[in-house]
Amino acid sequence: MQAEQLEILGFIRRFPPFNSLDDETLTTIAEQIEIAYYRAGTIILNYGDLVQDLYLIRSGAVEMHRRSGELHNRLSVGNLFGQMGLLMNNKVRMSATALEDTLVYCLPEILFNALYDEHESFADYVEVEDTARLRQAVSRQGGGDELLTSTVGELIAREPVTIAVSATVLAAAQKMTTQGVSSILVLSEQGNNQEGEPQVVGILTDNDLRARVLAEGLPTDTGVAEVMSQDLVALESGQFVFEAMLLMLRYNLHHLPILHKGKPVGVIALSDVMRHESRNNLFVVRHIFKAQNIDELAAIADDVKACFIRMVNEDANSQMIGTAMAGIGRSFKQRLLELAEYELGPPPVPYCFLALGSMARDEQLIVTDQDNALILDNNYDAALHGDYFATLAKRVCDGLAACGYSYCTGDIMATNVQWQKTRLQWEQCFSDWIVNPNAQSLLNSSIFFDLDGVYGRTEWADQLNGLISRLAQRSPRFLASMARNALGRTPPLGFFKEFVMEQDGKHNNSINLKRRGTAPLADLIRVHALAVGSQAHNSFERLNDVIESGLLPKGRGPDLRDAMEFIATVRIRHQALDLEAGNEPDNNIEPDNLSDFERRNLKDAFQILSNAQKFMKFRYQPNRS
């Protein structure tokens, strides 16, 4: 082999898809490659032209443009182009222009076809675009334990058995017997939703009939409404089985109504859930609620880490892991509040303890701090009640710190009197942030507009979410300001799609996957969600609402979902590897520690984020509706 061919061989074996081929095949490729040189500004391929080679960039850079003239991608050393044309009737699908003086290796069509037919790894790589390749990578996630991948809708064996709220317990018992069920859903006489359909107002179970009717000696003509369980706990059909298990453990339930967009579609029993149980389930929650003091709670922190690692090793996807970790975090807060109230006595006025940020979005991971706040009853008087809630908040925040949830460096915690407000004060505060956006209020909005009630009068949190949704959707100036604010964190890609490293001392020459990946994605999705009036908390659920609204160009929504999932997955896996190695996990990765698969797909995901930020910059302007 000549020296020039040896140099070609050494080069191509460094880059996918050639790095997966054997030496004999690589030698054949090196012997057949031709070399071409293009000066800066030269058009290499025009849309619709005949293409007969696969191009591999040896040096320089190339821009790819769509038929419309829109920039699709910038390619650098080691990148391929021309493959889609070779696969589609030899017609160029995207034009290619040398951005600078560029040297390319050309693989003739006959060699390309032979590699495609004989090597599956080569075919897999060249037959998909960047976004499709990323979608393939994402689709491999979540294929593990059924508890983590099955939705509660899959457990429903039959339609729900229902009865009107005006019925008697005798009628209910007869219907339950006839239908062979152990529970019956109670419906309102008239609809109280927009469609005018009856709504679920309660549930009656065998246990209710035994404990509340027979044991109390009530007559059979007793109304169902007098003995049914009214504080209904339910799940949407798309939620996961492990979420059902957590709810049942938390509230000691044996039956759980399942809804689809608010309408009842079935009831699952604890036995249905237990059939999906495995050793990897989240019974850590049960231990949390059995703990009698902070020391016992703090001892559970290692179990949380083990649970996180097990879920990662079971190939649970980021949404499952984020939801599970947020559920555990909520449980810690709830138990700490229960213990605090037990020691301090009942609260002098009603309150709601809020979770903010990633916990509220169900996107919490193992590396997290605490963000929380208090909503207080409008009758709250600081002089009379302030000491109680100051002590309560301190016990909870100190307890969370002992359990592994570090104090918020920005002091976004319930111990800060600035974030102890009455219902009316929070409403006025949020309204002012939306009507008069400034740098500080926009920063606050990006934190506090992800809120969830975890204890106490949690309906107050729902009401605040409704207020945010109504006001923001009608405020283009606020949305434009939020959009500009969300553009402050850009993906770590340079001009030629090369990684841009952090330069901050401790994490020098690394990439912060939260600050440069999942956080800007969450910011971007939040803006879109506010624009369409979504009241969802989770970024994936918000994105579903955005896609359904038609706000995004076709295909951009699924691309964003894949980008969010893949970046989060890489972040999660590297945190789990740190834990298994006995190291302190963080959000930073070094590209040298990434596999070729991760590196390639991360670049695709970051490019999707970059394109989405460009669209957001155009979409949200103060004078646009």
Q: What is the DSSP string of 441-479?
A: HHHHHHHHTSEEEEEESTHHHHHHHHHHHHHHHT-HHHH
The two structure tokens encoding residue 388: 């109680």
Residues 353, 337: Cα–Cα separation, whole Å: 9
Q: Are strands 183-187 and 162-164 parallel, antiparallel or unpaired?
A: parallel
Residue 394 buriedness (CB in 10 A; 0-12 / 13-18 / 19+): middle
What pLDDT does residue 315 have? 76
DSSP 8-state class, residue 281: S
Contact 604, 512 (CB under 8 A): no
Q: Residue 76 carries which DSSP code? A: -
- Long-range contacts of residues 181-186, Cβ cutoff 8 Å, at least 24 apart: 181/267, 182/206, 182/255, 182/269, 183/255, 183/267, 183/269, 185/160, 185/161, 185/257, 185/264, 185/267, 186/162, 186/224, 186/225, 186/228
Check: CB of residue 265 under 8 Å from CB of residue 159.
yes
Identity of the amino acid at 91: K
3-class SS at 1?
coil
Cis geometry, peptide bond prior to residue 17 (ω within 30 degrees of 0): yes
Residue 298: the pLDDT is 94
Q: What is the mean pLDDT of each run of 10 residues along the chain (625 residues)?
A: 84 88 92 93 91 93 82 83 84 89 94 89 73 59 53 84 94 94 89 69 92 92 92 85 77 87 86 56 75 93 85 82 89 95 96 95 90 97 96 97 93 96 96 92 92 94 94 93 90 68 66 92 96 92 93 90 92 91 88 78 89 91 62
* Structure letter (DSSP) for residue 584: P
Alpha helices in 194-269 (DSSP H): 206-208, 224-227, 241-251
- End-to-end Cα separation, the chain, in angstroms: 65
Q: How far apart are CA 159 and CA 173, in angstroms?
A: 18
Cα–chain center distance at 499: 24
Give which of 378, 370, 468 is closest to 414, Cα–Cα: 370
The radius of gyration of the chain's CA atoms, rounded to the nearest angstrom, is 29
Sign of the torsion angle spanned by Cα atoms 223, 227, 231, 232: negative
Amino acid symbol at 327 = G
Supply 622's token pair.
Answer: 């103060």
432's CB contacts (< 8 A; 6+ apart) are 441
Sign of the CA dihedral 469, 475, 476, 478?
negative
Question: What SS3 class is residue 284?
Answer: helix
- Cβ contact 333:352 at 8 Å: no
**CA nearest 154: which of 250, 263, 268, 233?**
268
Q: Token pair of 341, please?
A: 């109230």
CA distance 281 to 120: 37
What is the rounded CA–CA span in Å between residue 498 and residue 476? 35
pTM for the predicted model, two decimal places: 0.66
Is residue 362 within 8 Å of residue 326, measured between CB atoms?
yes
Residues 246, 232: Cα–Cα separation, whole Å: 15
> What pLDDT was estimated at residue 280?
42
Buried b (16+ CB within 10 A) or exposed e, 92-127: bbbbbbbbeebebbbbebebbebbbeebeebeebbe
Give the residue from 611, 493, 603, 620 showing the smallest Cα distance to 551: 620
Beta bridge partners of 106: 34, 55
- Residue 237: count other Cβ atoms within 10 Å of its Cβ: 18
Buried b (16+ CB within 10 A) or exposed e, 289-319: eebeebeebbebeeebbebbbbbbebbbbbb
CA-based nearest residue to 521, from 473, 569, 476, 475: 569
Max CA pair span of the chain: 100
Q: Hey, what are 295's tokens? A: 């020391």
Q: Which residues pair with 205 in a beta bridge?
A: 183
| CA dihedral of 140, 144, 146, 147, whole degrees rounded to 10 | -110
How far apart are alpha carbons 163 and 169 in whole angstroms? 10
Cα 49 to the center of its chain, rounded Å: 42
d(C-alpha 241, C-alpha 13), whole Å: 45
Question: CA–CA separation, 308 vs 303, rounded Å?
Answer: 9
Closest alpha carbon to 212 in 199, 202, 222:
222
Tokens (6 digits) for 162: 């229902």
d(CA 121, CA 123): 5
- Of the CA atoms within 13 Å of residue 494, those in its CB half-sphere come to 10
So what's the pLDDT on residue 279? 36
From the list 369, 362, 278, 270, the residue with the least C-alpha distance to 317 is 362
- The letter for the amino acid at 445 is S
The pLDDT of residue 594 is 81
Q: 396: which strand partners?
A: none
Distance CA 257, CA 51 (A): 59
